Amino acid sequence: MAAAAALTPATPLRFKPYSTLRFLSFYSKNPTNPRLFPPLPRRSVPSHSTFHRKRCFCSVISAALQSGEMKKTEFAEKKVGEMGNKVGEFRKKVKIANIKGGPDEGLNWVGQTLVVMGWVRTLRVQSSVTFLEVNDGSSLSNMQCVMNSDAEGYDQVESGLISTGASVWVQGTLVASQGSKQKVELKVEKVVLVGKSDPSYPIQKKRVSREFLRSKAHLRPRTNTFGAVARVRNALAYATHKFFQENGFVWISSPIITASDCEGAGEQFCVTTLIPSSREAADSPVNAIPNTKEGLIDWSQDFFGKPAFLTVSGQLNAETYATALTDVYTFGPTFRAENSNTSRHLAEFWMIEPELAFADLNDDMACATAYLQYVVRHVLDNCKEDMEFFNTWIEKGVIDRLNDVAEKDFVQLTYTDAIELLLKANKKFEFPVKWGCDLQSEHERYITEQAFNGCPVIIRDYPKEIKAFYMRENDDGKTVAAMDMLVPRVGELIGGSQREERLDYLENRLDELKLNKESYWWYLDLRRYGSVPHAGFGLGFERLVQFATGVENIRDAIPFPRTPGSAEF
- Cβ distance to its own copies smaller for residue 88 or 397: 88
Contact between 238 and its own copies per CB under 8 A: yes
Within 527-556, the residues that bind its own copies by CB under 8 A are 527-533
Q: Which of 48, 50, 88, 124 binds its own copies (CB under 8 A)?
A: 88
Q: Which stretch binds its own copies (CB under 8 A): 122-130, 144-152, 411-419, 489-497?
A: 411-419
Contact between 55 and its own copies per CB under 8 A: no
Torsion angle in degrees (nearest 10) through CA of 169, 170, 171, 173: -150
Q: Which of 237, 380, 406, 437 binds its own copies (CB under 8 A)?
A: 237
CB-based burial, 331-347: b 16+ in 10 Å, e otherwise: bbbbbbeeeeeeebbbb
Binding string, 275-294, against its own copies, x = CB under 8 A?
Answer: x-xxx-xxxxxxx-x-x--x
Residue type, 62: S
Within 378-407, the residues that bind its own copies by CB under 8 A are none
**Total residues at interface with its own copies (CB under 8 A):** 200
**Shortest reach from residue 184's CB to its own copies, in Å:** 19
Contact between 11 and its own copies per CB under 8 A: yes
**Shortest reach from residue 62's CB to its own copies, in Å:** 10
Nearest to 474 by CA among 462, 465, 485: 462
Binding string, 492-521, against its own copies, x = CB under 8 A?
Answer: ---------xxxxx--x-------------
**Shortest reach from residue 98's CB to its own copies, in Å:** 8
Q: Which of 183, 214, 241, 344 binds its own copies (CB under 8 A)?
A: 241
Rounded to an integer, what distance in angstroms lies between the CA atom of residue 139 and that of residue 141? 5
Nearest to 559 by CA among 299, 233, 95: 233
Within 453-482, the residues that bind its own copies by CB under 8 A are 457-458, 473-477
Half-sphere exposure of 170 (CA within 13 A, CB side): 34
Rounded to an integer, what distance in angstroms lies between the CA atom of residue 330 and that of residue 307? 24
Rounded to an integer, what distance in angstroms lies between the CA atom of residue 251 and that of residue 239? 13
Q: Which stretch binds its own copies (CB under 8 A): 104-112, 144-152, 324-332, 383-391?
A: 324-332
Rounded to an integer, what distance in angstroms lies between the CA atom of residue 387 and that of residue 232? 8
Q: What are phi and psi of 301, to 5 degrees?
A: -90, 0
Contact between 176 and its own copies per CB under 8 A: no
Q: Are 194 and 117 in contact (CB under 8 A)?
A: yes
CB-CB neighbours of 1 under 10 Å: 5
Within 294-323, the residues that bind its own copies by CB under 8 A are 294-297, 299, 303-310, 317, 320-321, 323
The DSSP letter of residue 64 is H
**Residues 6 or more apart whose Cβ sits within 8 Å of residue 151:** 188, 189, 190, 191
Contact between 100 and its own copies per CB under 8 A: no
Q: Which of 106, 165, 354, 538 binds its own copies (CB under 8 A)?
A: 165
- Cβ distance to its own copies smaller for residue 130 or 474: 474
**Shortest reach from residue 75's CB to its own copies, in Å:** 5
Within 255-274, the residues that bind its own copies by CB under 8 A are 255-261, 263-264, 267-274
Contact between 434 and its own copies per CB under 8 A: no
Contact between 118 and its own copies per CB under 8 A: yes
**Shortest reach from residue 150's CB to its own copies, in Å:** 25
| Cα Dmax for the chain | 90
Contact between 451 and its own copies per CB under 8 A: yes
Contact between 180 and its own copies per CB under 8 A: no
Contact between 196 and its own copies per CB under 8 A: yes
Q: Write the burial class of residue 249 (CB in 10 Å: 0-12 exposed, 13-18 middle, 19+ buried).
A: buried
Q: Are 424 and 451 in contact (CB under 8 A)?
A: no
**Shortest reach from residue 478's CB to its own copies, in Å:** 9
- Cβ distance to its own copies smaller for residue 20 or 182: 20
DSSP string, 386-416: HHHHHHHHT-TTHHHHHHHHHHSPPEEEEHH
- Cβ distance to its own copies smaller for residue 174 or 357: 357
Q: Which of 65, 70, 95, 493 binds its own copies (CB under 8 A)?
A: 95
Write a three-state SS string for 421-465.
HHHHCCCCCCCCCCCCCCCCHHHHHHHHHHHCCCCCEEEEEEEHH
Rounded to an integer, what distance in angstroms lies between the CA atom of residue 394 and that of residue 412? 30
- Cβ distance to its own copies smaller for residue 41 or 332: 332
Residues in the chain: 569
Contact between 60 and its own copies per CB under 8 A: yes
State the helix-helix crossing angle for 398-407 and 541-549, rounded to 10 degrees.
120
